[in-house]
Amino acid sequence: MASRSHRLRQDDKRYVWHPFTQMQDWLRERHPIIERGEGSTLIDVDGRRYLDGISSLWVTLHGHRKPAIDRSIRAQLSKVAHTTFLGLSHPTAIELAKALIRIAPAGLAKVFYSDNGATAVEIALKMAFQYWQQRGGSFRRKTRFIALEEAYHGDTLGAVSVGGIELFHQLYRPLLFPTWRIPSPYRAPWDRARRPDPVERLEALLRRQHDQVAGLVMEPLIQAAAGMLPSPPGFLKAVRSLCSQFNVLLILDEVATGFGRTGTMFACEQEGVTPDLLCLAKGITGGYLPLAVTLTTQEIFDGFRASYGEKKTFFHGHTYTANPLACAAALANLHCFQREQTLKLLQPKIALLRRELKSLRSLSHVGDIRQVGFMVGIELMQDRERGEPYPYEAKIGIRTILEARRRGLIIRPLGNVIVLMPPLSIASRDLSRMVRIVADSIVAATGG
């Protein structure tokens, strides 16, 4: 008789289509089927244990099966699992909105709920566009957006329109609205070419076109899905200054960077920046349930207040807006940060991770190691002296993470970049073990 795990694998291959996965490869290979989690560990149906080196795609903060979050969800489940937020409200969403505004950058005043990061960005784009349209007069010319090259803001069409990763986005260009772009501020160590200064490019663009620009959207401090590309100190602050000078709304996408990932609750805190719109998701529920929010200022909110007949309502929402179970998880997540001093305890682990990563620099195929807080990208190069990347078809990132999996670590690559983003709660010994496994896996995959 076939084992349970064998039957599950057969059914998975027969019925399921996985995201960001070449299914021809999937159908040939054997992959873990995760059944349980404990702390920083995932356990598959065969009982094999793995360190969760990417927080189950950047969402788990305090570990799997966190008792405080479990209790909060159970308590909410005993009241109501879901009630619409269209024309109604519920206590947990109100409490969560209040808690989010208390910890958000000063000046943000209102919370609009949704269910995922791409949707949070879509909402910010639509709010910015509609805000200027409702201001009337010459402001109605402000219909365009500015984004960074190599940007990633999600996979819905509005988010893809401000995205800039050719592999993900190029095919869909005929479906998208046009976006102005400025260069990514990251410079690779092997890049000797003269590059335009992104701040100067932005200022020149705004001087010419500011009357047509509704908003600028970017990730603060680091472009995550682009391969963990950090920006230099002061870049975010300079962008904020230019947006204010030229009357352009600043939209910060902290879907990946929020909730402690960069070492502070929100990345924009590190440069004292308040955006006009702030997009949050991923870690908001501690890795439990889908939830997202778009925070904005009182001024933008007031731009939508009018008599019913003026039709200035923000006509956007979805069935599970502000789902009570998700809000309960998010509220418990914030309580964990406060009660357990998560951010304070994270600082020595960030320093330990930086020290451990230094050992990888001696590996001949490691071209760059990029770290902002607990967000790490390790770029593998075929020839790092000449800046020669591995070809896409070599699948070097995939080969490396499969080697890691055999050694008990689950991670995912971004092309040739190995990404590490463990739970904030990971023990120091497991943090060191994770880096050792990555080193061994890179050697095994690259041959040196």
Domains by residue range for the chain, with CATH: 32-65+341-446 (3.90.1150.10), 70-340 (3.40.640.10)
Rounded distance, CA 219 to CA 147, Å? 10
Reported confidence tier of residue 190, pLDDT bands at 50, 70, 90: confident
397-to-108, 161, 445 alpha-carbon distances in Å: 39, 27, 9
Whether 156 contacts 170, CB under 8 Å: no
The average pLDDT across 389-397 equals 95
Mean pLDDT of 121-140: 98
| Chain mean pLDDT for the chain | 97
Mean pLDDT of the 179-196 span: 90
Query: How buried is 105 (Cβ within 10 angstroms: 0-12 exposed, 13-18 middle, 19+ buried)?
Result: middle
> How far is residue 392 CA from its own chain's centroid?
23
What lies within 8 Å, CB to CB, of 172 at 6+ separation is: 157, 160
pLDDT band at 195 (very low <50, low <70, confident <90, very high): confident
The reported pLDDT for the residue numbered 189 is 87
Model confidence pLDDT, tens digit, residues 90-129: 999 999 999 999 999 999 999 999 999 999 999 999 999 9
Give the separation between CA 117 and CA 113, rounded to whole angstroms: 11
Residues of the chain with pLDDT > 70: what percent?
A: 99
pLDDT at position 193 is 80
The answer to whether residues 84 and 327 touch, using CB atoms and an 8 Å cutoff, is no
- Give the pLDDT mean for 359-371: 96
For residues 36-56, give the mean pLDDT.
97
**pTM for the whole thing?**
0.97
β-strand pairing of 34-38 with 41-44: antiparallel
Find the mean pLDDT for residues 143-165. Answer: 97
pLDDT band for position 216 (cuts 50, 70, 90): very high
Tens of pLDDT, residues 398-444: 999 999 999 999 999 999 999 999 999 999 999 999 999 999 999 99
**Inter-CA distances, 234 with 220, 230, 273, 278, Å:** 11, 12, 10, 19
pLDDT of 1 > 60? The answer is no
**Alpha helical stretches, state H, 250-375:** 298-302, 324-340, 342-358
- d(Cα 245, Cα 240) in Å, to the nearest integer? 9
The span from the CA of 328 to the CA of 342, in Å, is 19
Element (H, E) at 57: helix 55-58
User: Terminus-to-terminus CA distance in the chain, angstroms?
Assistant: 43
